[in-house]
Amino acid sequence: MSDSQPNSHLNPQKISAAVARLYDTYPFPPEPLLDEPPPGYNWRWNWLAASNFCTGRKPARQNIRILDAGCGTGVGTEYLVHLNPEAEVVGIDLSAGALAVAKERCQKSGASRVEFHHLSLFDVERLPGEFELINCVGVLHHTPDPIRGIQALAKKLAPGGILHIFVYGELGRWEIQLMQEAIALLQGDRRGDYTDGVQVGRQIFAALPENNRLRQRETERWSWENQRDGYFADMYVHPQEIDYNINTVFELIDASGLEFIDFSNPQVWQLARLIGQNPELIERAKLLSDRQRYRLIELLDPQAITHYEFFLGRSPIDREDWRGDDRLLSAVPEPSPCIHSWQDSRQFFNPDYQIVSIEEAEWQFLLACDGNQTARKTVREILQSHETLQTVGLEEVRSLQRQQLILLTPA
């Protein structure tokens, strides 16, 4: 793990206090407050979609408890409430300033089924009960003890529950680390003055030659969001940051005592996208363990790995296997709640909010699933009852399920 931050020598209490001061100064994320539910979606915040991704099936119940651990200004919390209408949502954060914004945000948009608590991750045991879904995005790497933090969260995860984690990657943030240290050096005794740090950082970028690597990376990758001082401060003058590689991120995972389910951006972790044109290399890679393959991917494509986002689960995780034809034919399919405009065209927004184009046969089956949340027809019944589906086979159904475009429930 990289540990290059200027306040890394401080004790845990002072680190937490410094982090709280940053977010009291710049409540994060600095997104505008709306008088209506936020636009779009993130399927990782939707219990039906997230559970389906982790288990291969639609969950049996929706009246669950969700914890947004390190909720900041409530951007994710607001989505969690609106995307999960039967869930009880709880948000915690160590910044009183950020929590004040979170409360106002949720109140304005009608996200009423939420309660907030001024707590750090290390104090999460003060909350009653357990949670079926815990969201902890962009938080652990800013704590003085991420292992203690993830272990505290693991204790609050219900059996069969899932925990979504997002932490920084050292390889894709190399230029950020250099700029963080440069700003700290020029701040000198004013380290910890976050408004001064933002000013110094912006002056550095403006002064650097256009072909400078740090300036180019900022321009190409981060500058759009960093126009706002809150984003700039979070990235470049944060008092505490620990960046990971595959080896150290799995040390964190192993310490949690939970089961690694998968990366929630699995397309990034496909080796074929990098060396798929060479069958011999792909065959050699089959001799590697999963972790070795992940390491190979980040070594070959370091700038793509700016972070790690993944799901962990507490046993027992009830996974479904749809490889058997009879099992699949008896399943009840329905469209994913996280696809948009799919009734109008074969091109639509998928759960990652990216435009996809599916085959005509797949689209016809997806259309036939519309309303099946209440009709409860099986795959077999749908295929038999629609003349337009004569060319649809089980491979099309499996393709839709692999793409997370439909949810399946055992009959």
Confidence of residue 66 (pLDDT cuts 50, 70, 90): very high
pLDDT beyond 70 at 58:
yes
- The pLDDT-based confidence of 411 (bands split at 50, 70, 90) is confident
Per-domain residue ranges of the chain? 31-171+243-313, 325-410
User: Does the pLDDT of residue 4 top 70, yes or no?
Assistant: no
CA pair distance 88, 113, nearest whole angstrom: 6
Contact criterion met (CB below 8 Å) for 87 and 112? no
For 345, the 3-state DSSP assignment is coil
Looking at residue 386, what is its pLDDT? 81
For residue 286, count CB atoms less than 10 angstroms from its CB and return exposed for 0-12, middle for 13-18, buried for 19 or more.
Answer: exposed
The per-residue pLDDT for range 216-275, each reduced to its tens digit, is 999 999 999 999 999 999 999 999 999 999 999 999 999 999 999 999 999 999 999 999
Residue 10 pLDDT class (50, 70, 90 cuts): low
Q: What is the pLDDT of residue 212?
A: 98
Q: Determine the pLDDT at residue 9.
A: 52
pLDDT of residue 265: 97
In the block, which residue shows the tokens 């370091």?
A: 302
Tell me phi and psi for residue 218, to 5 degrees: -60, -45
DSSP 210: T
Give the CA radius of gyration of the chain: 23
Structural contact between residues 408 and 53, judged by C-beta atoms closer than 8 angstroms:
no
Give 334-349 pLDDT, tens digit per residue: 999 999 999 999 999 9
Q: Kindly give the interhelix angle for 229-236 and 174-187, rounded to the nearest 10 degrees.
A: 90
**Residue 79 amino acid letter:** Y
Q: Which fold is adopted by the domain 31-171+243-313?
A: Rossmann fold (3.40.50)
In this model, does residue 3 exceed pLDDT 60?
Answer: no
Express each pLDDT in 135-190 by its tens digit: 999 999 999 999 999 999 999 999 999 999 999 999 999 999 999 999 999 999 99
Percent of the chain with pLDDT over 90: 93
Asked whether 302 and 171 are in contact (CB, 8 A), the reply is: yes
Is 70 exceeded by the pLDDT of residue 355?
yes
- 11 versus 262: which is more confidently predicted? 262
pLDDT of residue 320: 94
Instruction: List, for residues 190-222, the tens digit of each pLDDT value.
Output: 999 999 999 999 999 999 999 999 999 999 999
% of the chain residues with pLDDT over 70: 98
* Residues 357, 161: Cα–Cα separation, whole Å: 32
